[in-house]
Chain A
Amino acid sequence: MQHNGKSNDKAVLRVDDVSKIYTMGEVKVDALKHVSADFYEGELVVLLGTSGSGKSTLLNIIGGLDVPTQGKLYFRGKEMTAATEDDLTMYRRESIGFVFQFYNLISSLTALENVQLVTEISDNPMAAEKALTLVSLSARMNHFPAQLSGGEQQRVAIARAVAKRPELLLCDEPTGALDYETGKLVLEVIRKVNQELGTTTLVITHNVSIAAMADRVIHMRSGEITEIEINKSKLSPSDLSW
């Protein structure tokens, strides 16, 4: 397996020969076919593929939301495929930060409270205010979601995801619902978190241009990894265009 050799080469997460078959009615769909990949500490990986390529299925398995039909998943050397549902909840609670395409903020809680929602239940979180400062939203932290723009809401979601100091930040089409300028702003925040906190970050997207900001790009098609590309010259999100 190739990687960019960044930091100390330790794999945070190992995906080992994972397959996923969905049964939809009488039809069997091979969503993932014998996929293997390692993710290393501190790197920013973009998982690139079109709709139906299997990237979301892989993200769901990595995030502990779904289990593979075959193959194994190791987090810090511990086999997660053998975990119980409660173990998976704890795994998400302690180690994973999620950023969704549609932000999924709790509408009845303010920006600050949305972040506190997560800091309340984690062991070693950063202060919610600090997380919001990190995404440059300290001025609007007492606003409710309905009072924030889409980009602001997504930044709250990122603050919420990183406040627990996760080992792995999973971003599912984070710019999918945003306009061009705002999307770039959000990517900038993701890059900042990755660099300043050193959080291993996995961004899935169908937008080829975003791949330029990654350390590594994993290309997927029809449930298989077609190529793993090491990005020699990373671009800053502000230099991206699509």
Chain B
Amino acid sequence: MKKLNRKLLRELMRMKGQMLAVAAVVACGISVFISMTNVEFSLTSTKERYYSEYRFADVFMQVKRAPETLTDRVRNIPGVASVRSRIVTDVTIDVPGLDEPASGRLVSMPDRKMPVLNDIFLREGRYIEPGHPEEVIASEIFMKANALKVGDRVGAVINGRWKELQIVGMCLSPEYIYEVKPGSFFPDNRRYGIFWMSREALESALDMASAFNDLSLTLAHGASEKDVIQRLDDMFRRYGSLGAYGRSEHLSDRFISDEIKQVGMQITVLPTIFLAVAVFLLNIVLKRIVSTQRDQIAVMKANGYSNEEVGLHYLGFALVPVAIGALSGTVVGAWLGLGLTMVYEGIYNFPELFYFFRFENAALSVLLSTGAALFGALSAVRQAVSLPPAEAMRPESPVVYKPGFLDRGELQKKIPVSIRIIVRNLERRRWKAALSVLMIAFAVGILISGRYGYDAVYHIILVEFSEKHREDLTIVFNEPRPFSVKYELASMDGVLEYDLFREEPARFSFGHRSRRQSITGLGSSDGLNRLINSHNQLVSLPENGLLLTSSLAEILGVSPGDTLTVEFLQGMRKTAYVPVEKTIDELLGLSAYINMDVLDRLTGEAGIVSGAHMRIDQHKAGGLFADFKEMPGISGTNMLKAMLKSFEDIIAKSVATSTIFLTTFAGILAYAVVYNGTRINLSERARELSSLRVLGMTKHEISFILLGEQAFLTAVAIPVGYLVGIVLSVLLALGLSSELYRMPIVFSSFNFVFALGVIVAVAAFSGLMVNYRLNKLDLIAVLKTRE
């Protein structure tokens, strides 16, 4: 076998262009598989490790005010493992160097450091000291966004009083891996931060001595989350509970869990496409090798090599490039995974994001690619094995062409002979042509679906920022305020327009389904904050009933005409039966809208508001911002337009990176298919093409015949690829859409143009590579040899 191996290696070297193309396709598939499985595993285990080391709670609840003594009763609920009560409040923050008011969440911590639920990881500085109510530990991402250092000071309006807070430490918490303001979707780390401060200090600032307004607990092994939540809700109803909820409704956990799920989805699709293409390429390349080496197979067999030895030899032509591809794919995948993990490190706040390379995955990828090699090589190897030596000695019987569609009627006379050659070749091997088209179409599809994500995100931005939200900023009050607050707002210098809104936390039930969900009361659907559906159309506010977002309606299992049980969780805590009048397919979040007057009637409390959307005079913004920073009773301000900028920066960076990778991958795929197809064509037809040269055809004329076929296949593959891309994108949209957001099915024309450009460029390049060989055809050899 030693000499056979030498033959194998020499021949592989001779065909290195084709073999490397196969190896590159395998490498792409394996690298995606390795990187994505590693990233999924790394994210999951980092999250779990973080949750367990810093005791992330299982169940959460916000109340208005409950006596501390109740925590002991909570501890006694069957299934509860440990409990922590806290004081949490949202305030306006004055950050040095930032004109606009920022929002902050103050979270109480024990005065002396001890292990607690939802603990913090101190990155820098120290823990707060007892007797220093001004000391706070701030979230790392907020400090970094504002270039704050340990020792810096920020201002805060706590319970109507302006206080100066001193940052003594920088930390992270498993509660805020994704640090985003409640109700927001895009992080705005300059204008929203978390501050941990002394419980004692918060108790006195908020008059909450021996009381708490936030409860978190962990469950004992095997305990029922649902039962515990039910007990908590019953126990805390009279303390203004907004309803207990599990991790699945915890915003930060939800984001990170959805992200992990999305990474998991990518593990299957791309590697499957790449391995399918590898199978196809191996099939056509190996078949060609076996057919050109018929005489050699005969010689081997005549000299006593067994069928197994011959079969194994030709299997080597598949195994070697696949092994090279799998190996380099594993290395590249490990590296890519590390890079991707570092990207996640920038988005999600982990103390340390561990990167794991799993050998199980490497082994699985070797198994998968070997399977692909065997599958691709199967028919060619079988052909080599089953060839009787005597028959193998004879040349292959000539290719039989039959009259095809060209030969019907008068059509044929008008078509140049060179085009007839192309058409007949395509006609003769329709399946191969169709598969080539499909493979190139996959490359186009990968490009389209790769950029689709960004088209969708930009559409969301367009709808959200230019159509839905017309306000410059939104203020949210700590407590419900009387309707008369509008006079105060109207009198502020620089406020051009404002719309009041009311937000009431509630629990919706329909049949056995229920959901905590706040209701937004609006004056009209066409105010500063408009009700816009995914198609950018205005939806009117119903006169009496509810307008639910489609996904909320789906979760509750209701459709227009059904009546929901709405249990209000604040104020008089009334229960009402409200008809669902309409649904709206908003892109972000879950919402329930109702006419403000109807909300007044249903809650039994009229004339109160929770906040206001405003349009302001930009020239007077400075003064207005200063007023808001000191205005009591404001828990937060949302600077929507400012958020857009920071979000667009993140997106732009990730568009660039992922476009580079996907373009490379799709380029390699298209190159491998077109190059191999053309090379095989050249090998099959070298003699014909040389004859044509001898007969007086120019190089251009025979290039046209050879490359025209692949050019035609590529041209057909582009529209097919558009379809493949759209289908892949729809699958992606279905997979990625969650309660947090829905991916709209939208495509920019640039997406299609870009894919077209990449594929045409790659096809042209592979054409040039083959043309180079075509130019070196040995014209004399052709006169002497018989095929």
Chain B 671-706 residues near chain A, CB threshold 8 A:
687-688, 691-699, 701
Asked whether B401 lies within 8 Å of A120 as measured between CB atoms, the reply is no
| Stretch touching chain B among A40-48, A103-111, A223-231 | A103-111
B400 within 8 A of A: yes
Asked whether A92 lies within 8 Å of B695 as measured between CB atoms, the reply is yes
A126 → chain B, closest Cβ, in Å? 16
Asked whether B696 lies within 8 Å of A108 as measured between CB atoms, the reply is no
Measured between beta carbons, the chain B residues less than 8 angstroms from A104 are 687-688, 691, 694, 782-783
Measured between beta carbons, the chain A residues less than 8 angstroms from B780 are 60, 65-66
How far, in whole Å, are A90 and B699 apart by their CA atoms in the complex? 11
B313 within 8 A of A: no
How far, in whole Å, are A92 and B698 apart by their CA atoms in the complex? 10
Asked whether A172 lies within 8 Å of B400 as measured between CB atoms, the reply is no
Measured between beta carbons, the chain A residues less than 8 angstroms from B421 are 106, 108-109
Measured between beta carbons, the chain B residues less than 8 angstroms from A63 are 694
Measured between beta carbons, the chain B residues less than 8 angstroms from A120 are 416-417
B420 within 8 A of A: yes
Known: A65-B779, A109-B417. A92 touches B401 (CB 8 A): no
Known: A113-B420, A116-B417, A172-B783. A108 touches B695 (CB 8 A): no
A237 → chain B, closest Cβ, in Å? 22
Asked whether A89 lies within 8 Å of B783 as measured between CB atoms, the reply is no
Q: Closest B residue to A97 by CB, please name it.
A: B695
Asked whether A89 lies within 8 Å of B786 as measured between CB atoms, the reply is no
Asked whether B695 lies within 8 Å of A89 as measured between CB atoms, the reply is no
Asked whether A101 lies within 8 Å of B784 as measured between CB atoms, the reply is yes
Contact of A108 among B401, B693, B698, B787 (CB under 8 A): B401
How far, in whole Å, are A107 and B688 apart by their CA atoms in the complex? 8
Asked whether B696 lies within 8 Å of A96 as measured between CB atoms, the reply is yes
Chain A 65-88 residues near chain B, CB threshold 8 A:
65-66, 86
Contact of A109 among B420, B698, B783, B784 (CB under 8 A): B420
Known: A104-B687, A107-B688. A160 touches B695 (CB 8 A): yes
Encode contact with B along A56-67: 1 for CB under 8 Å, 0 otherwise: 100010010110
Contact of A100 among B402, B417, B697, B783 (CB under 8 A): B783
A197 within 8 A of B: no
How far, in whole Å, are A172 and B421 apart by their CA atoms in the complex? 26
How far, in whole Å, are A66 and B782 apart by their CA atoms in the complex? 13
B470 within 8 A of A: no
A152 → chain B, closest Cβ, in Å? 13
Encode contact with B along A122-138: 1 for CB under 8 Å, 0 otherwise: 10000000000000000
Known: A100-B783, A144-B400, A144-B402. A113 touches B417 (CB 8 A): yes
Measured between beta carbons, the chain B residues less than 8 angstroms from A100 are 691, 694, 782-783
Chain A 17-69 residues near chain B, CB threshold 8 A:
56, 60, 63, 65-66
Chain B 404-433 residues near chain A, CB threshold 8 A:
416-418, 420-421, 424-425, 428
Measured between beta carbons, the chain B residues less than 8 angstroms from A109 are 417, 420-421, 424
Asked whether A101 lies within 8 Å of B783 as measured between CB atoms, the reply is yes
A240 within 8 A of B: no
How far, in whole Å, are A90 and B698 apart by their CA atoms in the complex? 8
Asked whether B692 lies within 8 Å of A106 as measured between CB atoms, the reply is yes
A177 within 8 A of B: yes
A61 → chain B, closest Cβ, in Å? 10
B97 within 8 A of A: no
B753 within 8 A of A: no
Encode contact with A along B691-724: 1 for CB under 8 Å, 0 otherwise: 1111111110100000000000000000000000
Number of A-B contacts (CB under 8 A): 92
Asked whether A121 lies within 8 Å of B428 as measured between CB atoms, the reply is no
A98 → chain B, closest Cβ, in Å? 5
Encode contact with A along B178-212: 1 for CB under 8 Å, 0 otherwise: 00000000000000000000000000000000000
How far, in whole Å, are A147 and B428 apart by their CA atoms in the complex? 16
Measured between beta carbons, the chain B residues less than 8 angstroms from A117 are 417-418, 692, 695
B304 within 8 A of A: no
B399 within 8 A of A: yes
A221 within 8 A of B: no
Most B CB atoms within 10 A — which of A90, A106, A117, A144? A106
Contact of B696 among A89, A106, A113, A145 (CB under 8 A): A89
Measured between beta carbons, the chain A residues less than 8 angstroms from B416 are 120
How far, in whole Å, are A172 and B399 apart by their CA atoms in the complex? 24
B222 within 8 A of A: no
How far, in whole Å, are A118 and B691 apart by their CA atoms in the complex? 11
How far, in whole Å, are A102 and B428 apart by their CA atoms in the complex? 23
Asked whether B697 lies within 8 Å of A65 as measured between CB atoms, the reply is no
Asked whether B401 lies within 8 Å of A144 as measured between CB atoms, the reply is yes
B511 within 8 A of A: no
B690 → chain A, closest Cβ, in Å? 8
Q: Closest B residue to A59 by CB, please name it.
A: B783
Q: Closest A residue to B699 by CB, please name it.
A: A89
B131 within 8 A of A: no
How far, in whole Å, are A94 and B691 apart by their CA atoms in the complex? 15
Asked whether B424 lies within 8 Å of A108 as measured between CB atoms, the reply is yes
Asked whether B695 lies within 8 Å of A146 as measured between CB atoms, the reply is no
Q: Closest B residue to A90 by CB, please name it.
A: B696
Measured between beta carbons, the chain A residues less than 8 angstroms from B400 are 144, 146-147
How far, in whole Å, are A101 and B787 apart by their CA atoms in the complex? 12
Q: Closest B residue to A172 by CB, please name it.
A: B783
Q: Closest A residue to B427 by CB, please name it.
A: A108
Measured between beta carbons, the chain B residues less than 8 angstroms from A60 are 780, 783
B463 → chain A, closest Cβ, in Å? 55
How far, in whole Å, are A122 and B695 apart by their CA atoms in the complex? 11
Known: A108-B421, A146-B398, A146-B400. A177 touches B692 (CB 8 A): no
Measured between beta carbons, the chain B residues less than 8 angstroms from A102 are 785-787
Asked whether B401 lies within 8 Å of A107 as measured between CB atoms, the reply is yes
Chain A 210-232 residues near chain B, CB threshold 8 A:
none
A3 within 8 A of B: no
Asked whether A92 lies within 8 Å of B694 as measured between CB atoms, the reply is yes
A140 within 8 A of B: no
A190 → chain B, closest Cβ, in Å? 17
B11 → chain A, closest Cβ, in Å? 21
A93 within 8 A of B: yes
Most B CB atoms within 10 A — which of A60, A108, A121? A108
Contact of B701 among A96, A106, A108, A121 (CB under 8 A): A121
7 A-B pairs, CB-CB below 8 angstroms? Answer: A56-B784, A65-B780, A98-B783, A100-B694, A107-B398, A109-B421, A164-B696
List 3 A-B pairs, minimum CB-CB distance, nearest first: A93-B696, A104-B691, A108-B424
Additional 13 contacts, C-beta under 8 A, given A108-B424, A109-B420: A92-B696, A98-B695, A100-B691, A100-B783, A102-B786, A106-B688, A106-B692, A107-B399, A108-B425, A109-B421, A117-B692, A121-B701, A144-B402
Which residues of B come within 8 Å of A, CB atoms?
398-403, 416-418, 420-421, 424-425, 428, 687-688, 691-699, 701, 779-780, 782-787
